[in-house]
Amino acid sequence: MKLRQIGELKLLQEVRKRFSSTDSSIMVGIGDDAAVIAPQEKILVTTDMMNEGIHFDLSFTSPFHLGFKLVSVNVSDIFAMGGKPKYLFLNIAMKKDADEQIFWKMYEGISGAMDIYGLNLAGGDLCAAENDMVLSATIIGTGDKIVTRRGASVGDKIYVTGTVGGSACGLEILKRLTAGARDSVKSLGSEVWSKEILTSQPLNLSTSQVIDWNIAEPLIKRHLMPVARDSSNFVNYATSMIDISDGLFLDLCRVCDESNVGARVYLDRIPVSEETTKAAEIMGLDPLHLATSGGEDYELLFTAPPTSPIPSLLKDIPPLYPPLSKGGTGGVKITCIGEIIEKDRVVIDKTGRESALKTEGYQHFGTSG
Amino acid sequence: MKLRQIGELKLLQEVRKRFSSTDSSIMVGIGDDAAVIAPQEKILVTTDMMNEGIHFDLSFTSPFHLGFKLVSVNVSDIFAMGGKPKYLFLNIAMKKDADEQIFWKMYEGISGAMDIYGLNLAGGDLCAAENDMVLSATIIGTGDKIVTRRGASVGDKIYVTGTVGGSACGLEILKRLTAGARDSVKSLGSEVWSKEILTSQPLNLSTSQVIDWNIAEPLIKRHLMPVARDSSNFVNYATSMIDISDGLFLDLCRVCDESNVGARVYLDRIPVSEETTKAAEIMGLDPLHLATSGGEDYELLFTAPPTSPIPSLLKDIPPLYPPLSKGGTGGVKITCIGEIIEKDRVVIDKTGRESALKTEGYQHFGTSG
């Protein structure tokens, strides 16, 4: 059925029914002029927009992935401040003759992500769009210990969760898929994590190379439906924190800018997954470049004093959903990649040679400079 | 300068500078992963989206008006719950080759509205759009006495602030303007309220009718840059409340639906401004139809027990900015238009005849039913 045949009111009623919340801190939820909440702690607020043709392309991404990613991206910002995500507000604009199924598949993705993070839908807006689909989410979280980008001090160690470059590598695979292979990835929809997929045939790239599903699948998932990292296990030791959305180096520079410090990064310590290394090799790409400049990993980059118990904590981080590495312990690895120094921003390569850290990351509207 | 020549980071730096806040309850504002606020009361949250081609048409509306309206529309939702608007979060998507001036004119409108309502910008997102401009705002307010749509009881009086139908009438004028007259309205930009405008020539309609500026100007303003009504003077007496965004009758029915009651409305009590009556006559439209079905007035519709002091309060409501009626006392009129009854929704015309109340208002995606 087309959205124009259903109408906004019926669609809203249905959304309200499906997302009814039992969280007692939501005093008024969907269906009034504003939501009313009564949290006990500090409030964290983040909002992000995803536009068709800019942030996503429905020939690469299914509506399910889109909904999932919209939530994860915003949750990641709350975790990056040391908060706990609580309330979700959604603004969705779609063309009138869009198919109802696109809407509900997207909501499945949203709903799946909400379950993982324990979020409640508390309000939003549903409206028509002339051309492109536009999604905007606001997430409100709560927190006690808040970690900003400003607290890094000289001598602090620089840590990163999980591995980086996987999302950019997944995007490169998607770009190279043959039309047929791309459709099969898209049609996976909510089944993208099912075991059956893992037994599928290898993916054919249009360059006539072949990537095994076991390698491609975690990377494609990483790009299409990233999972945000919960910072609650180490938030008490972090002096500054940011989520890696625009690239490891660019986001590290943001911490340096805000904290008014420099950084030294050891290139051979940057954690890159086996899958990224293998897939990059097949595609003729530099895995280290993907890891330092590729965006959308949604791992956390943080600093902590050298005396913090982070090193001893590393093996105790509990498994996150889904486990980052199928072969591993199910836990999320944290890696020390360098340290905060006074002013310069430098990298040390494996031969010990120092050079300037160069940023390269995504910026909207491009730049002339 | 085009946005692509400036780049997102420089634009964000400039926004951050221009909108620096001194509100001490904002612990972390623009420039981190999320904003952190520490309010003392209950939190109200509302979010709304405005899409080019759906909610606005840049051949009718200037970027200044657009920015102003985006803020007012969201503030209105907070007032409609009995809250006080506090923090603004903005998501703006624009084409890369949009002119920088469009952006800054819009920000002037946003900033002008923020000043009126005492808002602080606390965060947001700025990104590129493939086709249409998209604006999304989230406003967080605080409140103690919260008024929902659910509290109307049989016997309560139904009140409406100001006058209704003016926005719809202003839109009808805009639609009928000759191309030349329309451009002069658009080019008014932030000067739309200046005294000089009032001495301009009468507006020429393409139907070769003429509307005097003194009549047209408040109606056009009402549509292009509505001002939300502060409910703080009567919130303590209201049992239910909603802002009139989709039409008086449709929004009244929402209150009835949520409160599980009926309503009786006296048609001759519905407040219509002199300007609306005169302009509707010139254009051959029914002013009462504009008043009951026209949207976007952003007046407040509320109910209160018959014993409430609302009637005696009416003359004490302090002036709001800008005064609704140039000829009046500068205060906002509140009018009792009917009462809550058990089940039926009816109107009484001036001859005393009763008939069913018919709703007709805007719904996204249209309807087939």
Residue B367 lies in a domain: no
Per-residue pLDDT at A363 exceeds 90 = no
- Pairing verdict, β A240-243 and B334-341: unpaired
* CA–CA min distance B78, chain A (Å): 6
Q: Residues A69-98: pLDDT tens digits?
A: 999 999 999 999 999 999 999 999 988 888
Band the pLDDT of A242: cuts 50, 70, 90: very high
Return the pLDDT at A78: 95
CA distance B138 to B237: 27
Return the pLDDT at B15: 75
Residue B174 lies in a domain: yes
Return the pLDDT at A30: 74
Q: Is B147 helix (H, G, I), strand (E, B) or coil?
A: coil
**Which ipTM did the prediction report?**
0.79
Find the Cα–Cα–Cα–Cα dihedral B163, B166, B167, B173, rounded to 10°.
180
SS3 sequence of B309-364: CHHHHHHHCCCCCCCCCCCCCCCCCEEEEEEEECCCEEEECCCCCEEECCCCCCCC
DSSP B250: H
Q: Are residues A163 and A310 in the same domain?
A: yes
Q: Is B368 helix (H, G, I), strand (E, B) or coil?
A: coil
Q: Are residues B45 and B112 in the same domain?
A: yes
Is B152 or A334 the better-scoring residue by pLDDT?
Answer: B152
In chain B, residues with a C-beta closer than 8 Å to the C-beta of A77 are 33-34
CATH number, domain with residue A338: 3.90.650.10
Does the beta-carbon distance from B132 to A127 stay under 8 Å?
no
Q: Residues A112-136: pLDDT tens digits?
A: 899 888 898 888 888 888 888 999 9
**pTM score, whole prediction:** 0.84
Return the pLDDT at A199: 39
Sign of CA dihedral A260, B4, A132, A219: negative
* Preferred mutation among A52, A92, A364, A367 to probe B, highest tally of B CBs within 10 A: A364
Q: Which of A143, A159, A176 is the last residue of a domain?
A: A143
Per-residue pLDDT at B327 exceeds 70 = no
CA distance A190 to B121: 37
Percentage of residues in chain B with pLDDT exceeding 70? 85
Return the pLDDT at A25: 74
Does the beta-carbon distance from B363 to A6 stay under 8 Å?
no
Once rounded to an integer, what is the mean pLDDT over residues A134-154? 93
CATH number, domain with residue B27: 3.30.1330.10
Q: Are residues A213 and A346 in the same domain?
A: yes
- Count interface pairs A-B at CB distance under 8 A: 254
In chain B, residues with a C-beta closer than 8 Å to the C-beta of A6 are 365, 367
Q: Residues A57-76: pLDDT tens digits?
A: 887 788 888 999 999 999 99
Does the beta-carbon distance from A36 to B27 stay under 8 Å?
no
Does the beta-carbon distance from A258 to B32 stay under 8 Å?
yes
Return the pLDDT at A357: 96
Q: Are residues A153 and A130 in the same domain?
A: no
Once rounded to an integer, what is the mean pLDDT over residues B208-213? 80
Once rounded to an integer, what is the mean pLDDT over residues B257-273? 96
CA distance A279 to B92: 36
* CA–CA min distance B288, chain A (Å): 25
Q: Classify residue B284 as exposed, middle or buried by CB count within 10 Å of its CB (0-12, 13-18, 19+).
A: exposed
* CA–CA min distance A327, chain B (Å): 32
Residue in chain A lying closest to B42 (CA): A38
In chain B, residues with a C-beta closer than 8 Å to the C-beta of A48 are 91, 125
Number of independent structural domains in chain B: 2
Joined together, the tokens standing for residue A179 give 């039309």
Q: Are residues B195 and B278 in the same domain?
A: yes
Q: Are residues A28 and A9 in the same domain?
A: yes
Q: Residues A6-16: pLDDT tens digits?
A: 776 677 777 77
Return the pLDDT at B321: 38
Q: Which of B91, B116, B143 is the last residue of a domain?
A: B143
Distance of CA B182 to the CA centre of its chain: 21
Q: Provide the residue range defining the domain that includes A99.
A: 3-143
Percentage of residues in chain A with pLDDT exceeding 70? 85
Does the beta-carbon distance from A32 to B149 stay under 8 Å?
yes
Q: A267, A291, A272, A284: which is closest to A211 by C-alpha? A: A284
Q: Are residues B264 and B179 in the same domain?
A: yes
DSSP B201: P
Does the beta-carbon distance from B28 to A81 stay under 8 Å?
yes
Q: Are residues A296 and A169 in the same domain?
A: yes
**Weakest-pLDDT range from A185-189, A294-298, B80-84, B342-346:** A185-189
In chain B, residues with a C-beta closer than 8 Å to the C-beta of A96 are 365-366
Band the pLDDT of A316: cuts 50, 70, 90: very low
Instruction: Note the maximum CA span of chain B.
Output: 65
In chain A, residues with a C-beta closer than 8 Å to the C-beta of B51 are 93, 127-130, 134
Return the pLDDT at B7: 74
Band the pLDDT of B252: cuts 50, 70, 90: very high
Once rounded to an integer, what is the mean pLDDT over residues B220-232? 89
